[in-house]
Amino acid sequence: MTSPFIPSSYPDLSPISGVTLAAANCGIRYKDRPDLLVAQFCDGTTVAGVFTTSLTASAPVEACRQSLKSGKAGALVVNSGNSNAFTGKHGVASVLRITEAAATSFGRKPTEIFTASTGVIGEKLPDEKITSALGTLSFSDNAWSDAARAIMTTDTYPKMATRSATIGGKIVTINGIAKGSGMIAPDMATMLAFVFTDAAIAHPQLQSMLAAANEKTFNCISVDGDTSTSDTLLLFATGKAGNAAGDCNDFQRALTELLHELALHVVRDGEGAEKFVTITVTGAEHARAARTIGMSIANSPLVKTALAASDANWGRIVMAVGKAGQKADRDALAIKIGGVSVARNGEADPAYKESMIAAHMQGREIHIEVDVGIGSGSATIYTCDLTHRYIDINGSYRT
Amino acid sequence: MTSPFIPSSYPDLSPISGVTLAAANCGIRYKDRPDLLVAQFCDGTTVAGVFTTSLTASAPVEACRQSLKSGKAGALVVNSGNSNAFTGKHGVASVLRITEAAATSFGRKPTEIFTASTGVIGEKLPDEKITSALGTLSFSDNAWSDAARAIMTTDTYPKMATRSATIGGKIVTINGIAKGSGMIAPDMATMLAFVFTDAAIAHPQLQSMLAAANEKTFNCISVDGDTSTSDTLLLFATGKAGNAAGDCNDFQRALTELLHELALHVVRDGEGAEKFVTITVTGAEHARAARTIGMSIANSPLVKTALAASDANWGRIVMAVGKAGQKADRDALAIKIGGVSVARNGEADPAYKESMIAAHMQGREIHIEVDVGIGSGSATIYTCDLTHRYIDINGSYRT
């Protein structure tokens, strides 16, 4: 069953000079669909990365963290179907064999090869299927749709976005693909996102721009509150646009927009999602407090099940604000749903009647606004409801 | 639909000298069942209490916190059906009217009246239904079962426990009742529990014993990770046993056992629960870290949905350890399910086959043991699975 939010059409991604792509089926878990993505980059490509904060991070994540120190990238190798997480010394050896084989195939150093794996945790990765496929791939500059499909697990549609920006008078292009249908859903869901640009941007600046954009986008979504062992976001910059180093504000804007678009796709394709929910928190002590409160609302099973039932049970929003552990003035708390004030000054709004938001609650897109009455910190969080389908998907995933 | 863990019989609670009880229907929300509990205490009764840590605590909780300062109790008034939470100045006035009416009825000071309310958040409490019922009640010393039923909301069975202990050569009795089957998480679950004893124990010692027992019992259970605005645990000691002040170790033991029994009933009657899950965490940096890791496993929707499907998906346990934010040695992590080693030294146990635990996973009681390989901190957490019925119950609660 596909997401009710499946797009009617997909964006057309142009080639990025300096990037070639190949997608193939190497038979790790899936049949009849690609499960291996390889991207090759031209000499001089810089790279930035953001990874899971999990203390049980996968072997590929640990290897990427090491390789990122040089700031240089030669190729990216991604498989779906097996996450190579919690696989001990076997997992580390698998990553080593893949990076060495790819380095030999593509004439690069092993530290310039980045890998990511997504799928079941705790099973040994059959890395020989990947290494023996490396020599058989045919690369092109326009295989974006196949690339987006190759990294899918429980995703019901491929996720792609594209933007352009201007740096020092030159137009640069940014393409991105992502997977994940729980921002987090170990086993399968890891969130992976790979972004490619022809801009010339040195590693340290690329890293700080990616971290800033990630903070406002992927770090503001949640499907189920679970954190993957494999979450990986990588940005590759080939430099082929030939721009001089310059003001990168427009690139930062475009990058943030692109990650925002990909992040919202991950929520819209959230496991079992029937509603897309936007939660805006204002009046918090600071932005981080606002994000914590928003996440507390987004991850509350009681809020999520009420949303699934189209029930305007705003008392549960009050509960979730209260348990977030951040400063909130109960007697100044105000809540709007679908733009209608349901509570203010710490009690139900006298003018509010449930009929005023009944149609909104029945809809696909729900807007919740919460002001906690303390300061000027704000954040917007995106999530989905908790439905029977989530239970079915996650109860039956391995069988 | 009742919990599959409903007891085949209930304990027989003897009278507690100095305590009389009345339960009645006053028509707040429920019909044909009691929704009001009043307990009267003899002169000299001391009281201890532990409450929700929610920043959006209900009006009754705030009033109890105030009254607790005197350490003296005259009566307890509890209603179900409406939590009088997030009801602003109306809520505060409601509590005041109830405590004043009860003080007049029972010849006590308003600060000696303790109230608790449980039910829907955000609706004005029709306190006149409670105050006008006060004069019509008939009290007895053995209405424990009616008392336990009067405080139920989504509970499918009443929760009672009794113990005895010896203080200074005298035998004392402790009776307890509890409610709560959703919005259950640490820092006092959505949960009300009232405990009564004839022991003579001064307020400060009573308070420290209650806090210690709570930490090991109600603070170690979780149904859905949501924290109520109304959690209240009160312990009343009438002193009628006539014991001299003395060594209270045996009382502490009995009190902890009683709260443990009540807490496990709350989990077993968890909304939609089909499985009762015990999670033991060892090898953590300290006991608090062990508790945080255990709660991360207990509250993970992915772990809970796998349990509901009887799926031994231990990779999700690894994920939940990783996201807990507490020190863990991934490469020393060991996991047992039903006593069988499934993972050790950071990877799947070579001897493990799913068939070894298939029967255990199909059962009603699941045992998970996790050693995180750091230190000697340990904790045991009790929880339940996440089922379709949880979604049904919480989607339709108000309708």
Q: What is the percent of chain A where pLDDT is above 70?
A: 94
pLDDT at A286: 94
| Cα-Cα-Cα-Cα dihedral sign, residues B24, B27, B28, B33 | positive
pTM over 0.95: no
pLDDT at A302: 84
Give the helix/strand (H/E) hosting A120: strand A113-120
Produce one character per residue of B250-272: b if its CB has 16 or more CB atoms within 10 Å, e if not: bbbebbbbbbbbbbbbbbbbbbb
Q: What is the pLDDT of residues B327-353, one digit of tens each?
A: 888 889 999 999 999 999 988 899 999
A20-23, long-range: CB < 8 A, 24+ apart? A20/A139, A20/A140, A20/A141, A21/A139, A21/A140, A21/A141, A21/A142, A21/A143, A21/A144, A21/A146, A21/A147, A22/A137, A22/A138, A22/A139, A22/A140, A22/A143, A23/A143, A23/A146, A23/A147, A23/A149, A23/A150
- Both structure tokens of B273: 């629960």
Nearest one of B329, B340, B349 to B367, comparing CA atoms: B340
Give the helix/strand (H/E) hosting B316: helix B315-323
Q: What is the percent of chain B where pLDDT is above 70?
A: 94
Average pLDDT of span B354-369: 94
Q: Measured between beta carbons, which residues in chain B are less than 8 angstroms from residue A314?
A: 122
A55 contacts B331? CB cut-off 8 A: no
Lowest mean pLDDT among A335-344, B25-34, B368-377: B25-34
Interface test with A, best of B226, B300, B352 (most A CBs within 10 A): B226
Confidence tier at A265 by pLDDT (50, 70, 90): confident
Three-class DSSP category at B115: strand
Lowest mean pLDDT among A339-353, A358-372, B224-238: B224-238
pLDDT at A350: 92
pLDDT at B106: 96
B388 contacts A388? CB cut-off 8 A: yes
Question: At residue A22, what are phi and psi to the nearest 5 degrees?
Answer: -140, 135
Q: What does the alpha-carbon distance between residue B262 and residue B196 come to, in Å, rounded to a whole number?
A: 13
A396 contacts B391? CB cut-off 8 A: no
pLDDT at A182: 52
* Shortest Cα–Cα distance, A53 to chain B (Å): 7
pLDDT at B397: 52
Residue in chain A lying closest to B391 (CA): A305
pLDDT at B68: 93
A182 contacts B54? CB cut-off 8 A: no
Helices (H), chain A: 59-67, 88-106, 127-134, 144-150, 203-216, 249-268, 287-298, 301-308, 315-323, 358-362, 388-396
Q: What is the pLDDT of residues B172-185, one digit of tens each?
A: 999 999 888 655 44
Confidence tier at A175 by pLDDT (50, 70, 90): very high
Interface predicted TM-score (ipTM) of this complex, two decimals: 0.71
pLDDT at B204: 92
B89 contacts A328? CB cut-off 8 A: no
Q: What is the pLDDT of residues A286-314, one digit of tens each?
A: 998 999 899 889 988 889 888 988 988 88
Q: What does the alpha-carbon distance between residue B227 and residue B223 come to, in Å, rounded to a whole number?
A: 10
CATH topology for the B276-395 domain: Ubiquitin-like (UB roll) (3.10.20)
B395 contacts A301? CB cut-off 8 A: no
Three-class DSSP category at B1: coil
Q: What does the alpha-carbon distance between residue B88 and residue B95 come to, in Å, rounded to a whole number?
A: 11
Question: At residue A278, what are phi and psi to the nearest 5 degrees?
Answer: -110, 125
B348 contacts A227? CB cut-off 8 A: no
Nearest-CB residue to A88 (from B91, B322, B345) = B345
Q: Measured between beta carbons, which residues in chain B are less than 8 angstroms from residue A224?
A: 301-302
Nearest-CB residue to A54 (from B322, B390, B397) = B322
Contact A311, A336 (CB under 8 A): no
Contact B11, B21 (CB under 8 A): no
Nearest-CB residue to B86 (from A54, A315, A387) = A315
The class (CATH top level) of B19-268 is: alpha beta
* Shortest Cα–Cα distance, A225 to chain B (Å): 8
In this structure, CATH architecture of domain A276-396: Roll (3.10)
Q: Which of B118, B153, B190, B256 is catalytic?
A: B190
Catalytic residue ranges of A: 190
Residues 6+ apart with CB under 8 A from A76: A37, A38, A39, A41, A113, A114, A115, A116, A194, A234, A236
- The tally of CA atoms less than 13 A away on the side-chain side of residue A160 is 20
Contact B125, B68 (CB under 8 A): no
A122 contacts B301? CB cut-off 8 A: no
Q: What is the pLDDT of residues B68-80, one digit of tens each?
A: 999 999 999 999 9
Residue-range domain boundaries for chain B: 19-268, 276-395
Nearest-CB residue to B347 (from A53, A87, A319) = A87
Nearest-CB residue to A318 (from B122, B388, B391) = B122
pLDDT at B225: 60
Q: What is the pLDDT of residues A116-161, one digit of tens each?
A: 998 888 889 999 999 999 999 999 999 999 999 999 988 889 999 9
Question: Is residue B190 flagged as an active site residue?
Answer: yes
Residues 6+ apart with CB under 8 A from A101: A130, A131, A134
Q: What is the pLDDT of residues B105-137, one digit of tens each?
A: 999 999 999 999 998 888 899 999 999 999 999
Contact B362, B310 (CB under 8 A): yes
Which residue's structure tokens are 């972004």? A195
* Shortest Cα–Cα distance, B326 to chain A (Å): 8
